[in-house]
Amino acid sequence: MPTTRTLTWSTIAVAAVLSVVAWMPQERAARTEAVKSNGWIDATATLDPATTPVYEGDAPMNFEFLKDMRKGDALTLSKYSLGAHSGTHIDAPMHFVRDGAPIDKVPLEPLIGPARVIDISDDVQAINAIELNRHHWRGTPRVIFRTRSSLRGWMKSSTFHRDFAYIAPDAAQLLADAGVQLVGIDYISAEQFGAPAPMTHRILLGKGIPIVEGLALEGIRPGDYDLIVLPMKVAGHEGAPARAVLRKRDP
């Protein structure tokens, strides 16, 4: 009997130790990741010619290794060729306003601060004034629309979809008149495809409101966030790819 009891308790002790050992790396990794990210969520579409959509008629993406250590070179060196409006990017006023500010002159204030992510249902293509006013958007300085493009994974598909959800001019006017500082959307244009005139862009950019397009919002829930979205600082041009991150704000 003593021998059996000793073996039983030994087995339990070993099992407990093994359980702790197995748990520790996972817990440490989770804790490290939490500290590293500090709650920030990457809302940037990965630039990849195989998976990133390109607006019809825009410059194609081409990434090339000039040197590659995996092939025996002493270092790895790359060349990128892409349009200014590739992936997650910011439109500066210069895009549709003749004397508008270029991307390197867009101030930091609209690009950093509180933002509200608004869910637009899959069956809505035109985010017009009626649709906008169905949602609680007033009082927030930055408005971001999560649309059918996120629900369908279109920012991860190289196929260009013409029927993406867009911001109609009457909604753009409401946003501009309310003093919104930044507007964002989850496909590579905020304007209706084939629109007779780029009125949404002209309304927002005409008020100096930068537009963030191509956000990756698949895993983002609607609500209030802190936003940081910073474009490449390219002198004298109308737009540039950007890195965008969101962090949920306390209720």
The β-bridge partners of 182 are: 142
- Report residue 37's pLDDT band, with 50, 70 and 90 as the boundaries: low
Query: Per-residue pLDDT tens for 71-114?
Result: 999 999 999 999 999 999 999 999 999 999 999 999 999 999 99
pTM: 0.85
Query: Per-residue pLDDT tens for 130-178?
Result: 999 999 999 999 999 999 999 999 999 999 999 999 999 999 999 999 9
DSSP 115-152: EEEEE--TT--EE-HHHHTTS--TT-SEEEEE-HHHHT
Active-site residue, 95 included:
yes
- Report residue 20's pLDDT band, with 50, 70 and 90 as the boundaries: very low
Contact status, residue 205 vs residue 213, Cβ threshold 8 Å: no
Token pair, residue 79, equals 């060349």
For residues 48-71, average pLDDT = 97
The β-bridge partners of 230 are: 243
Q: Which of 85, 89, 95, 201 is catalytic?
A: 95
Inter-axis angle of helices 199-206 and 169-177, nearest 10:
10
Q: What is the mean pLDDT of the chain?
A: 89
pLDDT of 32 higher than 60 = no
Angle ∠(5,8,3) on CA atoms, nearest 5: 35
- Beta strand 40-42 pairing with 239-248: antiparallel
- What confidence score (pLDDT) does residue 221 get? 97
Contacts of 18 (CB under 8 A, 6+ apart): none
- Strand, helix or coil for residue 18: helix
Query: Per-residue pLDDT tens for 125-136?
Result: 999 999 999 999
